[in-house]
Structure 1
């Protein structure tokens, strides 16, 4: 690694490029060069040079007003990711059916490090999609039913690291104590599902179960989410489990295999 004149380590071109792409998120879809510089922590001149390269390749697009946004070329590349595209495609008809059967939002998520990533959600309630995530939306694992399922079946090192905290509170019902979280994860593995009420927002809850690949490894979680009064295990479990099993059969028939995800 090279150093700057000040003696501080310089970030590699790859690191700087990733920082620029990481400056964009759901709440910051279009940015000026100055915005990108501020959010990435890079000098404007550096941002200008790399942004020009990214725009030329199609990873970024320059709007008529001079603002920049994520480009179609990057999207075309991203949808090739097998963990998202294959699962989302396999899950879609079963999420539609789960939504029809329960009148609740139906969602599927995978784990990426310490977060759950929403692959798809079927709901006629806008607030549910905003709360639990549009495709690509992320949430801490301890805050939702799908996240808790994914965490319960993650490796021991992942579970230990997350239980060690910090565990941010969204409501008074959010689990913020590592010991309590550990006990909850044991119960989820034993019972085969996660049930939460009011942990992400007041008045909302969810029930989720794992989706397993051909080796029995948990590769995703399927859940039903909605008003707490409607999140009743006796009513929901048969439907959610049936959806998870159908998705699992579909991905196994395609020869889909999971990949390791980081801590």
Structure 2
């Protein structure tokens, strides 16, 4: 581990708790390319296990570290945001901002930039809104700084271009009833260049609440169940996205790739409305074009 936490200057009283936090963060940052367990950090820092556990827990609560399901620890989104602010520039954001602004001008709707934090997580890092309109602050699904797990069926544009083994592992985390659909959808997303989110969790909660009301007449319950089935269908396949079909889109996401073709981010447009299939395809191509600009 690189020793970036140096000796205490003469005449200054040491602060052991502060130093331990700095040592733990230095360890995780220095070895960021290698997944670290709690035991790894204890070994690298020579700190007591109980101390490391307490520090990691607190830093994870603050977002400076992230704990994963496999018990490894990595740098968290709050630390990355602070580091970028200190440096004063974020190359991905700098590259994406003109493309986002042009996309917003073309669609008159909010667009935002999401970036990959690690193999299982993304975070929202930049908003762009039509002139005179404020960015939404109550839609928790897309608040700046919010992290989102790459759990099926969401964030498909981050997975569709992965190796087959990675795609299969992601699909197998979904309910068995959704897996056949997800296989077809990922193929469709790769073919057309963008994903379409048809419904948000907020919508689903409202509809689920309606279906649970005993006082709702049977005919209305049947209609709501039908609506739920239509809205909760994952994305669109080509036969469902004909030019004259009435379709709905909450978000449209297109991948940003690095020089190796790895998806490192996504440009996401927010129609949040219904439209004809031909209009959705035009909107999707505009979003994909913006993402390609950023990739280049």
Please classify the TM superposition score into its range, dividing by the shorter chain length.
Answer: 0.5 to 0.7
Q: 1:24 aligns with which of 52, 55, 62?
A: 62
Q: 1:195 Cα shift?
A: 1.6
In structure 2, C-alpha distance between the alignment counterparts of 1:206 and 1:176, rounded to whole Å? 24
Question: Match of 1:193?
Answer: 194
Q: Quick one: structure 1 residues 151 and 227, their matched pair in 2 at CA, closer, same or farther if it must change by over 3 Å?
A: same
Asked whether the 8 Å contact 1:149–1:188 carries over to 2, the reply is: yes
Q: Quick one: structure 1 residues 75 and 128, their matched pair in 2 at CA, closer, same or farther if it must change by over 3 Å?
A: closer
- Alignment RMSD, CA only? 3.6
Question: Match of 1:159?
Answer: 167
Question: Match of 2:102?
Answer: 97
Question: Match of 1:223?
Answer: 268
Q: Quick one: structure 1 residues 75 and 87, their matched pair in 2 at CA, closer, same or farther if it must change by over 3 Å?
A: closer
In structure 2, C-alpha distance between the alignment counterparts of 1:176 and 1:121, rounded to whole Å? 35
For residues 146-204 of structure 1, give each alpha carbon's deviation from its aligned partner in whole angstroms, at most 9, with x where no partner exists: x110011234443233222256xxxxxxx972332222112211222212211444386
In structure 2, C-alpha distance between the alignment counterparts of 1:180 and 1:130, rounded to whole Å? 27
Q: Quick one: structure 1 residues 103 and 212, their matched pair in 2 at CA, closer, same or farther if it must change by over 3 Å?
A: same
In structure 1, C-alpha distance between the alignment counterparts of 2:184 and 2:174, rounded to whole Å? 17
For residues 28-53 of structure 1, give each alpha carbon's deviation from its aligned partner in whole angstroms, at most 9, with x where no partner exists: xxxxxxxxxxxx9xxxxxxxxxxxxx
Instruction: Give the 3-state SS of the residue equivalent to 1:152 in structure 2.
Output: coil
In structure 2, C-alpha distance between the alignment counterparts of 1:129 and 1:154, rounded to whole Å? 32
Whether 1:108 aligns to 2:113 is yes
Q: 1:138 Cα shift?
A: 1.9
Instruction: Give the 3-state SS of the residue equivalent to 2:90 in structure 1.
Output: helix
User: Mind listing any 5+ residue stretches in structure 2 that lack a counterpart?
Assistant: 1-38, 40-47, 68-77, 204-247
Q: TM-score when scaled to structure 1? A: 0.58
